[in-house]
Amino acid sequence: MSDPVLDLDRRLRAPLAAFHGEKPPAPEWFEAALAHAPERSVTRVEGAEIETLTWGERGRPGLLFLHGGMANADWFAHIAPFFAETHRITALSMSGAGRSSWREAYDVAQFAREMAEVARATGLHEAGPPVFVAHSFGSRPLFNAAADAELELRAAVVLDAAVSLPNANAMPTQDTRPHRTYATFEEAVSRFRLMPYQVCDNLFIVDYIGRQSLGPASSPEEPGRWTWRSDPFVFHKLSGADQGRAEAAIRSARCPMAFLHGERSAIVRADNLAHTRAVAPAGTIFAVIPDAAHHVFLDQPLAVVSALRVLLATL
């Protein structure tokens, strides 16, 4: 007889382990989305090469996606194609993430400048001001972008993030150990998991982003091994992410805003949601994605697509 507690622990800490490096079965819509592959390029911003993925033709309304902490542009590879018939879409990996360059130091304002420069370089402004969408930690540079007097946006959409009360604890410093390395690609994939821990039923999406998050280990002492592409010291080297600056940026937003959060989110809670409502500009939209945790577009991808389509039509 299985132990429910142990089963839950396995689903949280090693959701892909049971597949032993094999791909989980995926529905047709997901395979069709991935078949609409992006154009992959690099945009140079302030000395760093920023990984840039684009879909759709230039001259269409612009739509930009920004990932959360320790994620990358490929987290949106199953979402972006749904908008490719009507929009020019870009997803980027912030410096220190994905295949982008690492920096000696990181700053939220610089991440916002990376968003702005990538949007310009990929033609997102050619049909007028674009819409920027960001998940989780990506909301911090998005807030900066929304308040930037030199960057005209049609709207800013936040996926599962909020601003905490002024007396809330500061963002905890993340683990600063180098990433673990693995003998084989399959072993590494089997260890991929979401942070913060959560169960996600759509393991075909988790598997895909896990595969895109891996690269060869660069250490000459460990040839042939695999590890995660992101800079493990990003948050240790980060500045400008405090709650006060985020709140000030929201209050100064120069474009309409919308906040979509998961019904089961461990990040967006009643207290910080209420505070965000209080500081957000009048008319800001707040909506819930049913039966979704923090990673809303992994838990309920098609519901998020539908919600974004409504927002793009109304904002």
Q: Hunting for tokens 């911090």 — which residue is that?
A: 140
Residues 219, 315: contact at Cβ < 8 Å?
no
Start-to-end CA distance of the chain, whole Å, equals 52
Q: How confident is the model at residue 174 (pLDDT cuts 50, 70, 90)?
A: low
> Per-residue pLDDT for 150 more than 90?
yes
> Per-residue pLDDT for 116 more than 70?
yes
Q: Between 196 and 147, name the one with better pLDDT.
A: 147
pLDDT tens-place string over residues 15-39: 999 999 999 999 999 999 999 999 9
Distance between CA atoms of residues 83 and 89, nearest Å: 7
56-67 mean pLDDT: 98
Question: Cα angle vertex 114, ends 175, 235, to 5°?
Answer: 10
What residue ranges define each of the domains in the chain, with the CATH number in brackets? Answer: 4-163+185-314 (3.40.50.1820)
148-158 mean pLDDT: 96
Q: In the predicted model, what is the mean pLDDT of the chain?
A: 93
- In angstroms, the Cα distances linking 26 to 46, 76, 203, 204, 260 are 39, 16, 8, 5, 25
Distance between CA atoms of residues 4 and 1, nearest Å: 9
> Per-residue pLDDT for 213 more than 80?
yes
Residues 132, 156: contact at Cβ < 8 Å?
yes
- Would you state the pLDDT for residue 169? 56
Q: Average the pLDDT over each of 80-89, 162-171, 177-186, 304-313 and give the range with the smallest value.
A: 162-171
Percent residues over pLDDT 70 in the chain:
92
109-124 mean pLDDT: 98
> Per-residue pLDDT for 258 more than 80?
yes
Bond prior to 216 in cis (omega within 30° of 0):
no
Say which DSSP state 240 is in. Answer: S
Tokens of 97: 């993430």
Q: How confident is the model at residue 237 (pLDDT cuts 50, 70, 90)?
A: very high
> Per-residue pLDDT for 10 more than 80?
no
Q: How confident is the model at residue 175 (pLDDT cuts 50, 70, 90)?
A: low
Distance between CA atoms of residues 229 and 68, nearest Å: 14
156-175 mean pLDDT: 76
The DSSP bridge partners found for residue 34 are: none
- Would you state the pLDDT for residue 25? 97
205-214 mean pLDDT: 97
- Would you state the pLDDT for residue 126? 97
Q: Which residues have a Cβ under 8 Å from the Cβ of 136 and sit 6 or more positions away?
A: 67, 68, 69, 71, 159, 160, 161, 267, 294
Q: Which residues have a Cβ under 8 Å from the Cβ of 220 and sit 6 or more positions away?
A: none
Q: How confident is the model at residue 177 (pLDDT cuts 50, 70, 90)?
A: confident
> Per-residue pLDDT for 4 more than 70?
no
The DSSP bridge partners found for residue 53 are: 40, 91
Report the Cα 59 to chain-centroid distance in Å: 25
